[in-house]
Amino acid sequence: MTTGTSENEFIPTWWLPEGHSQTLWRKFSPTKMVAHRRQRIELDDSDYIDLDWTTLDPKESKDNTIVFFLHGLCGCSRSSYILAMQSLLNDQGISSVAMNFRGCSGEMNRLARAYHSGVSEDVNEVFSKLAAEYPAHKFVFVGYSLGANVLLKWLGEIESHPNIRKAVAVSTPFDLEYCSQAMLQGVSRIYGQYFVRRLVKDFQHKQQHLQSFNPDQAARIAQLGDTRSISSIWEFDDRITAPLHGFGGAEDYYRKCSSSAFLNSIAVDTLLIQSKNDPMIPPKSIPDREMLSPQVQMLLTEKGGHVGFVSSNPDNWLEQRILNFVQV
């Protein structure tokens, strides 16, 4: 694997010296405000996905570029890392759009199914509709965490597309089983417990919602049994994610959706930004150089946490690395 040059070397700000503080600061620090214009994409299965565009008209975007964002687990288009990047792109005259996975836009989706780390079919359908709407534009995809895994899986499946120019994946959980296991151990259990509480609560709210608006879909959820006792990401994936989305359990889901299996098929110029001290992604999950296609390069830093990379000089190190890659 290649590490960064001196230009790309990440040095954390002194008051966020290790991975946990980097991760938590990015999560809870004040976010930039970015005005959004919402577009709803109707899907072929009768569900929908909401996109949030910046107010910069894509037809006026620099070099006819559209940057397309995919958020992480329990995130949305208003996640701090997306807003920070969209703000910088606005300053550069580059249009961008953030896709909210099903049920993440502030409104419940219509079906029992939701989103997961391998839901590349939704990305493919949304992109196909946007590519038809903006045939003269080139797209750059940026995914974070779960969204990064989805992005890399999708790129490996399609290999290349004439309207896709580049892609960036930040803090990717390349091996879903290893990452699920990591959140059962040590301090990383805090993250696992946070996510599982959010996921179970959202799932229960969705079940209540569907009972009023779509009883048939509510019945699909009821078949999963009592979910209140779920206490880990692995258990959530085994009892909810897998059966709802056609997998034979958590292990089958992890095996089929881990992006590590798709990296050698990617034909799009792709940058992986990864930290060795990411508290959610164990080092054994990070792929070796021989697992990457020639079009994929990795910027692997010693520090940075999970979608953290908060540095004092420059203070937007992650965003600058992405911008530099987009503009080349």
Residue 64 — pLDDT band, cuts 50, 70, 90?
very high
The kind and range of the H/E element at 164 are strand 164-170
81-109 average pLDDT score = 96
Query: Which residues partner with 19 through β-bridges?
Result: none
The H-assigned helical ranges of the chain are 19-28, 80-91, 120-133, 146-158, 176-182, 189-213, 215-222, 233-236, 242-244, 250-257, 317-327
Percent of the chain past pLDDT 70, that is, above it, reads: 98
The kind and range of the H/E element at 207 are helix 189-213
Q: Which residue of the set 145, 171, 260, 275 is catalytic?
A: 145
132 lies in the same domain as 118: yes
Residue of 23 and 7 predicted with greater confidence: 23
Catalytic-residue membership of 212: no
Catalytic-residue membership of 52: no
51-75 average pLDDT score = 93
pLDDT of residue 7: 57
- Residue 157: name the closest of 294, 265, 272 by CA: 265
Residue 27 — pLDDT band, cuts 50, 70, 90?
confident
270 lies in the same domain as 239: no
167 lies in the same domain as 139: yes
292-308 average pLDDT score = 96
Catalytic-residue membership of 306: yes
pLDDT of residue 187: 85
Residue 31 — pLDDT band, cuts 50, 70, 90?
confident
pTM of the model: 0.95
Percent of the chain past pLDDT 90, that is, above it, reads: 85
Q: Which residue of the set 122, 188, 306, 311 is catalytic?
A: 306
- The domain of 232 spans 176-257
Asked if residues 32 and 316 have their Cβ atoms less than 8 Å apart, the reply is no
201 lies in the same domain as 311: no
3-state SS, 21-67, equals: HHHHHHHHCCCCCCCEEEEEEECCCCCEEEEEEECCCHHHCHHHEEE
136 lies in the same domain as 73: yes
pLDDT of residue 313: 75
94 lies in the same domain as 242: no
Q: Which residue of the set 61, 137, 278, 285 is catalytic?
A: 278
145-153 average pLDDT score = 98
pLDDT of residue 5: 40
Phi, psi dihedrals of residue 135, rounded to the nearest 5°: -65, -20
22 lies in the same domain as 69: yes
148 lies in the same domain as 281: yes
The amino acid occupying position 54 is T
Asked if residues 171 and 161 have their Cβ atoms less than 8 Å apart, the reply is no
12-40 average pLDDT score = 90
Q: How far apart are CA 123 and CA 104, in angstroms?
A: 14
Q: How far apart are CA 109 and CA 101, in angstroms?
A: 9
56 lies in the same domain as 200: no
Mean pLDDT in the chain? 93
127 lies in the same domain as 266: yes
pLDDT over 70 (residue 3): no
The H-assigned helical ranges of 258-316 are none
Residue 2 — pLDDT band, cuts 50, 70, 90?
very low
Q: How far apart are CA 275 and CA 12, in angstroms?
A: 11
The amino acid occupying position 279 is P
pLDDT over 80 (residue 57): yes
Angle among Cα 161, 61, 326 to the nearest 5 degrees reads 55
Q: How far apart are CA 150 and CA 156, in angstroms?
A: 10
pLDDT of residue 108: 93
- Domain of 3: which CATH number? 3.40.50.1820
Residue 63 — pLDDT band, cuts 50, 70, 90?
confident
Asked if residues 69 and 97 have their Cβ atoms less than 8 Å apart, the reply is yes
For helices 317-327 and 80-91, give the axis angle rounded to 10 degrees: 50
pLDDT over 50 (residue 110): yes
pLDDT of residue 59: 85
pLDDT over 80 (residue 276): yes
